[in-house]
Structure 1
Amino acid sequence: LLPADDRALSPHTGYTRAHWEAAADGMLHAALRYATPGQALIDLPGPPSRSGVRSDGLEGFARTFLLAAFRTAGASGKDQHGILERYTAGIARGTLTPGRGDAESWPVIGHHGAQGQPMVESASVALGLRLTAPWTWEALPPDAQDRTEEWLRGALRHQPAPNNWYLFPLTVAGFLEAVGRGDAETARAIERGLALLEGWYQGQGWYSDGDGRSFDHYNGWALHMYPLLHAHLAGDGELLDRLGPRLHTFLEGFSLLFDADGAPIHHGRSLTYRFAAVASVALGALTGHTPLASGATRRVLSGALRHFLDRGALTEDGVLSLGWYGPHAATLQRYSGPGSPYWASKGFLALLLPPDHPVWTATEEAAPAEGPDRALALPAAGFLVQ
């Protein structure tokens, strides 16, 4: 249940940080009801993806762990429901015997293709551990830490898809370096990902998702998010100075692609990730690379979250459905499984902004799309925004 609307602080959406926290808590409690006994997999209801039920269970675990990480890291580790303990236990169990056909072992990370999906999920596991290391990673016994590192290194030793997937090994490597386990292999993964990113940059804040002209929400929730969040967490000023202005420029146009009713533009693939579309908006505020005032930032963030919650994105038992509002098969990709929608967790990156941040304390302002009337050409991505 969400708190009552606060129309004084948030005259447009009624949402405050308390609404975000309550939404995150509700989503986590609903998903965790589907955890296996050892907590290693979260087997959400629905038809399996082409990657199989074991991979789908890992996906449910990893993507909700990312949500738990944003929620608890943003609360300075306060975890009154003991959720991180469950995920820590799940990591220890899932990495005990990877690839074994028992009830809880995680699948091993393979090359892009039939065995590739665990590489995607390794990034959420690594980022979740990086954000919550004092309460998760440091709580793991040394042998469990070693096994987790070995499982994660599969992402560094196998071939990603030729697109944003190269940022998954980068994210894994960034975590390993952050906990003192970096080496030539991790350095190479980071260097490779950043080099490819340069080749994909098309100007005006837009990256193509790999070679060619592939422009959609992946630009914000992957191509900006992973490397810039890595730079922020690592305190890498040089990388922040290089990538941050691109995010600032991107948000000048992208912020116009949210309607007055909060909806992000319905464009591209993986749309079942829904309010993950605001991850880059929150990242701009977190890193200081945004053209938006704090009140306008929260207007876009909360507008998108409320847009989907008000329109049935959660089933009656509180689980994110495979679709756009409610279930909608035409929205999906072949790789979509029951846990896939939980990449919507990326939208909760906003919770990394502390409670006293102006994004949470300023009065909401109108969304950029609400006026004045204008037309903006974004030839780098092939958009004309009116």
Structure 2
Amino acid sequence: MKQRIRKYGLLLLAIVVILPVNAQQNRNTKLTLAAAATTGAQDRAEWVKALYKIAYPVVHNLAAGTLKQQMPLETGPEYYLPVKKVTYLEAVGRLSAGLAPWLALPDDDTPEGKLRKQLRKELLQGLANAVDPGNPDYLNFRTEGQPIVDAAYMAQTFLRAPKALWEPLDALTKKRFIEEFKSLRNRKGAYNNWLLFAGLTEGFLMKIGEQYDPSRIDYALHKMKEWYVGDSWYSDGEKFSMDYYNSYVIHPMLVDLLAITTEKKFSQKEDYDQALQRMIRYSEFSERIISPEGTYPVFGRSVTYRTAAFQALGQVALMEKLPEHIAPAQVRCALTAVIKDMYDGPQNFDGKGWLVLGFNGHQPTMADQYTSTGSLYMAALGFLPLGLPADNRFWTDAAADWTSKKAWSGQPVKKDYKVEY
């Protein structure tokens, strides 16, 4: 009996000792794989591959007039919207806003350049179809509240790529978009980030010299100023929610709107400068939450928007406004790790290439009551730095570790502390 007890005791001791060693070895293996250095050109190719994979089914079918025929209509639990009236505009508006900076780059003869040219051509055709009442893919701007949201992403598309995606449109298509945007004024949205949607659409009309509603712009700007809670975080309405809406919507749309209103002397430059500094500070948080393995925390509403969680970080990088202690290459490498985790495999796509409900796989119960297939194309907003040309230092600098990778491997890291703006 004593020998048996001694034998099992030694076995238990071995398990206690070996398991942590094996766990640490597994962790080190993951870190080593994540640490495999790639060139900026390789990283860019990874981004292009992922964004094209996401975009192609929507853009190609919209151009062909078959989006409504081909796009699946998967919805979250207890979904409460009339899906056929809202989901298609969601897909087109959100995806286009993410594609816009990349499609704005000039043509070239590289493989990437050829993909970009093809996608731009199809999207321009698709945009004409989207506002043509005689086309099978005519999109609904005229009823329901949800189009207030996705018309704003459509307006943001034109703001981000005016020469590539607005100016080439024929006069009739432009007129139709303007009419669709103005038609939104007979509805009101929620008392939260939705104020920015209404404001940005009106801001676009202001930008192009069309008649606009100043009250919708002014109200959005004033409420967002009131809802600032400190250290780069805005409350989404009167009560704060811990989620990614500061990146999905608030920082990018507020900065874009203030850029217009400042140019048109509707608001003060100090307001734009302040909003930009707050977004830059927020980008520090975004970069810090990316783990050494290229994962990030799953919390809050709308996590099925996936890489849209990094829109604000991407916009700051695109504007070349990253803080001095955050090198462009470390943002590139961190986001590349996230993109590989999300899109290298098939887990987030169905058999025909459409995004599926979930965070990193088909996980329908993670979707919100307002989430459908079209909603998921918010993910494209995480790819804004592709608007930086391939010879920009974001893509040409040598690979660099990002903050959490430095911290977890014992490297020096700048201490973080709150900032008041």
TM-score category of the 2 structures, normalised to the smaller one:
0.7 to 0.9
Name the count of aligned residue pairs. Answer: 364
Cα 1:93/1:277, change in 2 over 3 Å: same
Structure 2, unaligned runs of 5 or more: 1-34, 264-268
Identify the residue that residue 11 of structure 2 maps to in structure 1: none
Cα 1:287/1:132, change in 2 over 3 Å: closer
Give 1:230 shift.
Answer: 4.0
Give 1:352 shift.
Answer: 2.1
Structure (1 or 2) with the greater helix fraction: 2
Identify the residue that residue 89 of structure 1 maps to in structure 2: 125
Report the TM-score when normalising by structure 2.
Answer: 0.77
Cα 1:378/1:82, change in 2 over 3 Å: same
Structure 1: distance between partners of 2:300 and 2:418: 16
Match of 2:246 among 219, 224, 228: 219
What residue identity is the alignment partner of 1:120? V
Match of 1:349 among 384, 390, 408: 384
Identify the residue that residue 276 of structure 1 maps to in structure 2: 308
Give 1:41 shift.
Answer: 4.9
Give 1:40 shift.
Answer: 6.9
Match of 2:138 among 77, 86, 105: 105
Identify the residue that residue 264 of structure 1 maps to in structure 2: 296
Q: Is 1:94–1:105's contact at 8 Å kept on the other side of the alignment?
A: yes
Structure 2: distance between partners of 1:82 and 1:248: 33
Identify the residue that residue 278 of structure 2 maps to in structure 1: 246
Identify the residue that residue 340 of structure 2 maps to in structure 1: 306
Q: Is 1:286–1:353's contact at 8 Å kept on the other side of the alignment?
A: yes
1:129 matched to 2:165? The reply is: no
Q: Is 1:258–1:264's contact at 8 Å kept on the other side of the alignment?
A: yes
Find the residue that maps to 2:229 and give its secondary structure.
strand
> Over aligned residue pairs, what C-alpha RMSD do you find?
3.1
What residue identity is the alignment partner of 1:219? N
Higher relative contact order (CA 8 A, sep 6+): 2
Give 1:66 shift.
Answer: 2.6
What residue identity is the alignment partner of 1:121? D
Give 1:197 shift.
Answer: 0.9
Q: Is 1:313–1:320's contact at 8 Å kept on the other side of the alignment?
A: yes
Give 1:243 shift.
Answer: 0.8
Find the residue that maps to 2:132 and give its secondary structure.
coil
Match of 2:375 among 337, 340, 343: 340
Cα 1:184/1:45, change in 2 over 3 Å: closer
Structure 1, unaligned runs of 5 or more: 381-386
Give 1:326 shift.
Answer: 1.3
Report the TM-score when normalising by structure 1.
Answer: 0.83
What residue identity is the alignment partner of 1:189? R
Give 1:377 shift.
Answer: 7.8
Cα 1:319/1:96, change in 2 over 3 Å: closer
Identify the residue that residue 146 of structure 1 maps to in structure 2: 175
Identify the residue that residue 368 of structure 1 maps to in structure 2: 403
Percent identical pairs in the alignment equals: 24
Identify the residue that residue 97 of structure 2 maps to in structure 1: 66
The farther-off stretch of 130-139 and 212-221 is: 130-139
1:142-221 aligned within 5 A: 142-181=171-210, 183-185=211-213, 187-221=214-248
Identify the residue that residue 118 of structure 1 maps to in structure 2: 147
What residue identity is the alignment partner of 2:330? A
Cα 1:332/1:267, change in 2 over 3 Å: same
Structure 2: distance between partners of 1:170 and 1:137: 19
Cα 1:325/1:168, change in 2 over 3 Å: same
Q: Is 2:43–2:333's contact at 8 Å kept on the other side of the alignment?
A: no
